[in-house]
């Protein structure tokens, strides 16, 4: 079965994950994290993509970004991935692939849903029990979104700016939101939409995008359709 094309629309944020091959590490020393973030900043500017949140874990990367034009996210990820693989192979005298095939992307509609994704991304180190506070994790956008100085890689999304009238107020509001209890169902929902690369947002947005693209962009029921056993018996049929 051929793969569905990505949902790639200008001005629509995307939640992206790229994993190391076979879940193996893709960052080994501080130099690697720094190199990746430097490349991400440069390439995002060149491709006109605004980075709202990120986290670099040992064996995968999460990004939340908005492209200004279709196709620019793919170009960003291709350039970023290839450049970083060259860096790792040259530095550690290795060969072969580093990433696990294609990155996965999930369009995010609605400000509330975007903030949920941003929180999910910045809470990754806490869920992995690498730190007891996301502010203690160095390779994440969380510090720049909660304390000065500003992270030069980050362009705040409108939804984040609406958290307060000034930076100190926004920092406090975001810190409180991230520290608030998160429903496990919300975390599972974000993971599922990202894994299946379905649009994450209210049904009204999903239906609008489906009408625009002429194809499904949301979750479908898994398994065989339900069949009424009484109606089948009346027809002399069986579920078996």
What's the pLDDT tens digit per position in 29-56? 999 999 999 999 999 999 999 999 999 9
C-beta neighbour count of 49 within 10 angstroms: 22
Please report the pLDDT score of residue 19 as a whole number: 96
> pLDDT tens, 195-213?
999 899 887 766 766 666 6
Q: What percent of the chain has pLDDT above 90?
A: 76
> pLDDT tens, 176-187?
999 999 999 999
Contacts of 216 (CB under 8 A, 6+ apart): 210
To the nearest 10 degrees (0 to 180), the angle between helices 184-196 and 111-122 is 100
Instruction: Please answer whether residues 193 and 106 qualify as being in contact, where contact means their C-beta atoms are separated by less than 8 angstroms.
Output: yes
Distances (CA, A) of 184 to 15, 91, 115, 235: 19, 40, 16, 44
pTM beyond 0.75: yes
> pLDDT tens, 76-116?
999 999 999 999 999 999 988 899 989 999 999 999 999 99
SS (H, E, C) the chain: CCCCCCCCCCCCCEEEEEEEHHHCCCCCCHHHHHHHHHHHHHHHHHCCEEEEEEEECCCEEEEEEEECCCCHHHHHHHHHHHHHHHHHHHHHCCCCCCECCCCEEEEECCHHHHHHHHHHHHCHHHHCCCCCCHHHCCCECHHHHHCCCCCCCCCCCHHHHCCCCCHHHHHHHHHHHHHCCCCHHHHHHHHHHHHHCCCECCHHHHHHHHHHHCCCCCCCCCCCCCCCHHHHHHCCCCCC
* Class at the top of the CATH hierarchy for domain 14-234: alpha beta
Instruction: Please answer whether residues 195 and 103 qualify as being in contact, where contact means their C-beta atoms are separated by less than 8 angstroms.
Output: no
Beta strands 14-19; 60-67: pairing state: antiparallel
Give me the count of residues in the chain. 240
**Residue among 72, 10, 41, 48 at smallest CA distance from 209:** 10
> pLDDT tens, 14-30?
999 999 999 899 999 99
Please report the pLDDT score of residue 83 as a whole number: 96
Distance separating alpha carbons of residues 147 and 167, to the nearest angstrom: 9
Check whether 226 has a pLDDT greater than 50. no
Backbone angles phi, psi at 136, to 5 degrees: -85, -5
Check whether 123 has a pLDDT greater than 90. yes
Check whether 225 has a pLDDT greater than 70. no
Residues in a beta bridge with 56: 61
């Amino acid at each position: 079965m051929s793969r569905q094309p990505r949902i790639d629309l200008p001005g629509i944020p995307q939640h992206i994950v790229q994993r190391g091959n076979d879940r193996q590490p893709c960052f080994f020393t501080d130099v690697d994290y720094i190199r990746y973030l430097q490349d991400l900043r440069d390439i995002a500017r060149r491709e006109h993509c605004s980075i709202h949140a990120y986290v670099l874990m040992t064996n995968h990367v999460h990004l939340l970004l908005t492209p200004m034009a279709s196709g620019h996210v793919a170009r960003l990820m291709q350039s970023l991935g290839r450049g970083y693989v060259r860096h790792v192979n040259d530095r550690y005298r290795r060969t072969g692939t580093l990433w696990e095939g294609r990155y996965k992307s999930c369009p995010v509609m609605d400000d509330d849903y975007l903030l949920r994704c941003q929180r999910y991304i910045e809470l990754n180190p806490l869920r992995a029990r690498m730190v007891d506070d996301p502010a203690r994790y160095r390779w994440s956008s969380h510090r720049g979104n909660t304390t000065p100085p500003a992270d030069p890689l980050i362009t705040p999304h409108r939804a984040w700016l609406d958290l307060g009238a000034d930076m100190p107020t926004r920092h406090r509001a975001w810190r409180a939101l991230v520290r608030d209890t998160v429903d496990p169902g919300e975390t599972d929902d974000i993971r599922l939409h990202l894994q299946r690369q379905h649009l994450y947002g209210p049904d009204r947005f999903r239906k609008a995008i489906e009408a625009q693209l002429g194809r499904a962009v949301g979750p479908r029921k898994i398994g065989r359709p339900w069949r009424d056993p009484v109606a089948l018996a009346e027809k002399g049929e069986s579920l078996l």
